[in-house]
Amino acid sequence: MRPERLSDIIGSVYDCVLEPQEWSRTLPLISAFGESAASSIVVQGRLNNSGARIFEDGDRQSFLRLYFEKLAASRMPAMKQVAFDHLGEVATMTMLAGEREPLNSDFYLKWVRPLGFRDVIGVLVLKSGKRVAWFSVARSDVQSRFTESDLRQMELLSPHICRALLISDALDLQSIVATRLAETVDHLSTGVLLTEEKGRIAYMNGSAEAILKDSGALKSKDGHLVATRPHARDALSRALEESSAGRAPSTSGQHAIPLPDEEGSGLIANVLPLQWRDGRNPLAALPGAAAVIIQNPAEGAPAPIEAIGLLYGLTAAERNVLEHVAASHSPQETADRLGVSVNTVKTHLQKIFAKTNTARQADLVSLVARSTAPLKSKR
């Protein structure tokens, strides 16, 4: 075989890293390379078959994954001891089932011959924390069995298939991590933006989009994050520049920037580096040089009253009182809203104080605030 032909096939294998559908074009080349009737790659989850993917050239080649699973679990004696569990190891049916009468073996009779195949070469091409993948080529029953020369040819190709699958698996996992992290961040009631140099917005969650749309304190200008008021604009720009360089106040690790609007209210922006000098990056799966956390002091996430009640053993009536107290309602306002007497409310409050180890309504408000996660309420 000409070296340039092998080079072309290897190039095609690496094309499959970013475009897995290219295996449908590459596998026929590999089949021809091995003078085989069929070839396939079967990707499976380590713990179950979820996310299984099959790429094949030839009829019913994917059925061979059962063949390899049976071989891997087999305890059949073989003259050549080949543990088909090592990444990149090339093995034929003869090597796995034994040199003596391989055509009479259970594997041949049950898994190979029914498919119209005479011999098979198999390679474990991926064994990551999440997935395993098998590559195989097979010859039909009208062809000769694979020879040592055929094995050597496949040994030239199999490392590249292993490497392509490994890279593809790593990229896929990174994509999954980024997607799940983005979905999680999108459920926050707090606005989260990631910016590149000079405040160019690389990512923002749904809450941040709403803030930029509705707030008079912060906006997007030509794709860059900009504060509305001049003094705040300068402070935010400096914070973004320092964060992009991996610098932040040593005491807090972040820049806290007030963003007033024209109506006397506004937002608080906390800016922190994503590219810390010591390598820390809690949002590494998402793009950006700086994270901007936007909070509106006038708005808050719903308090987890039920969870707090269960944590401290509060009754249903006590939880109702706590919910109103946490909203800064007075005992009389709470009584009016619940339709009970103020003395009943005060009795419940005393029990709540005892169960939560607090002494004042202000302590309860603080307790609830510390327990509240910045998550959006369902609508």
Task: Provide the pLDDT for residue 317.
Answer: 95
Q: Which of 22-26, 186-190, 262-266, 310-314 is least confident?
A: 186-190
Architecture in CATH of 305-371: Orthogonal Bundle (1.10)
Q: ∠ CA 174-57-71 to the nearest 5 degrees?
A: 75
Q: Which of 58-72, 127-141, 181-195, 277-291 is least confident?
A: 58-72
Average pLDDT rounded to a whole number, residues 245-266: 83
Radius of gyration, CA atoms only, the chain: 32
Examine domains 3-178 and 188-295 and report if their fold is the same.
yes
Per-domain residue ranges for the chain?
A: 3-178, 188-295, 305-371
Q: Which of 39-48, 136-145, 237-246, 335-344 is least confident?
A: 39-48
Task: Provide the pLDDT for residue 63.
Answer: 47
Q: Rounded to an integer, what distance in angstroms lies between the CA atom of residue 56 and that of residue 21?
A: 11
Average pLDDT rounded to a whole number, residues 184-200: 82
Neighbour-count burial of 86, counting CB atoms closer than 10 A to its CB (0-12 exposed, 13-18 middle, 19+ buried): exposed
Q: Which of 29-33, 114-118, 178-182 is least confident?
A: 178-182
Task: Provide the pLDDT for residue 182.
Answer: 67
Q: Rounded to an integer, what distance in angstroms lies between the CA atom of residue 95 and that of residue 77?
A: 10
Prediction pTM value: 0.47
Task: Provide the pLDDT for residue 178.
Answer: 58
Cβ atoms within 10 Å, residue 147: 11
Task: Provide the pLDDT for residue 62.
Answer: 47
End-to-end CA distance of the chain: 65
Fold of 3-178: Beta-Lactamase (3.30.450)
Residue 88 contacts residue 124 (beta carbons within 8 Å)? yes
**pLDDT digit string, tens, across residues 87-103:** 887 877 666 555 545 55
Crossing angle of helices 316-326 and 331-338, in 10° steps, is: 130
Tell whether the model's pLDDT for residue 48 goes beyond 60: no
Helix/strand/coil for 56: strand
Q: Which CATH number fits domain 188-295: 3.40.50.970, 3.30.450.20, 3.40.190.10, 3.40.50.300?
A: 3.30.450.20
Task: Provide the pLDDT for residue 79.
Answer: 33
